[in-house]
Each structure stands twice: as structure tokens, then as C-alpha cells.
């Protein structure tokens, strides 16, 4: 039986950058990711400094194309006049529970919308190793201040 792997992302309207980040992630690990039941919850905000560059609808459509069809997608769009990371974080966590996705044996992965993949490290054996163990947390980063993994 496949385990559930749930990606949580707080995104802003970044245009083609999402192809270089989230898109590359899915393309690189496609065969490994298909070993799981996948859900991707994405909160999309439009910060003041990005208004007039990309729209929320453009971003949603781009992410809908980037995230493969075998992944259940949940997009959260609140059109908040004063968006913040904290509000977006709360939105994705709330969606996780509202959609009854949180279970004792699921994996939850925080996937940043602007972190670029710099290594092809196969993380699946790590998940399989702890699949039936007690709850744990894991983060794959390299030079974390640069926000890349």
C-alpha cells in the first residue's frame, strides 16, 4: 500500500521561476514520487511589490501545469490585501486538516516555491526507512541561508 506524501507550499506570483523550482523538483523525482499517494496544497498570494507583474490566475494556471496530473492539487486563494507568510502558513495547515489529509502514517513535506534544486539526492530511502516509525521531522537543505536544497 502506498503512503501519503503531502506537499505544503506558500507561493507568491513569481511567473516562470516556479518552472525552475517546483517544476524541476517534480521532473527530477517523478519516478520516486509515483511510489506515494501525492497531494500538493498551495496557498497563492499577491504581494504588493509583485502586483502588476503576474496575476494570481496566471500563477495558478502555471502551477496547475507544473504539478503533474497524478498529484491531487488544492489551491488556496484568499485575495488578502495584506498577505503574509504567517497567514499563508495557517491556510495550508488548515487545508491539511479540513481535507482530512493528516494521518499518523503520512509524510508532510514543506516545499518552498523559490528554493532551487541543486542536488539529485534520492530521499525516498530515507522516507521508507522511517515509514513505520514514530513521528519525525526532516529537512533537506544545502547552505540553508541561501534557501536551496
Residue 149 confidence (pLDDT):
45
Q: Which residue shows C-alpha cell 526507512?
A: 129
Each residue's pLDDT tens digit, 34-89: 989 999 999 999 877 777 788 889 999 999 999 999 999 999 998 888 888 999 99
Does the CA dihedral 138-103-91-24 come out positive or negative?
positive
**pTM here?**
0.87
* pLDDT confidence tier of residue 148, bands split at 50, 70 and 90: very low
Residue 143 confidence (pLDDT):
56
Residue 75 confidence (pLDDT):
97
Distances (CA, A) of 133 to 26, 45, 101, 126, 129: 26, 36, 19, 12, 8
Amino acid at each position: 500500500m502506498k503512503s501519503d506524501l503531502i506537499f505544503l507550499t506558500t507561493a507568491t506570483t513569481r511567473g516562470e521561476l516556479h518552472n525552475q523550482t517546483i517544476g524541476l523538483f517534480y521532473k527530477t523525482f517523478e519516478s520516486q514520487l509515483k511510489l506515494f499517494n501525492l497531494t500538493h496544497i498551495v496557498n497563492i498570494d499577491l504581494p504588493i511589490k509583485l502586483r502588476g507583474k503576474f496575476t494570481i490566475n496566471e500563477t495558478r494556471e502555471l502551477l496547475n501545469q507544473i504539478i503533474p496530473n497524478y498529484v491531487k492539487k488544492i489551491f488556496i486563494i484568499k485575495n488578502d490585501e495584506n498577505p503574509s507568510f504567517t497567514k499563508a502558513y495557517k491556510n495550508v495547515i488548515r487545508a491539511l486538516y479540513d481535507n482530512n489529509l493528516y494521518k499518523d502514517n503520512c509524510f508532510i513535506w514543506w516545499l518552498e516555491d523559490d528554493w532551487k534544486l541543486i542536488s539529485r539526492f534520492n530521499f525516498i530511502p530515507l522516507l521508507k526507512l522511517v515509514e513505520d516509525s514514530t513521528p519525525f521531522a526532516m529537512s533537506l537543505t544545502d547552505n540553508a541561508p541561501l534557501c536551496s536544497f
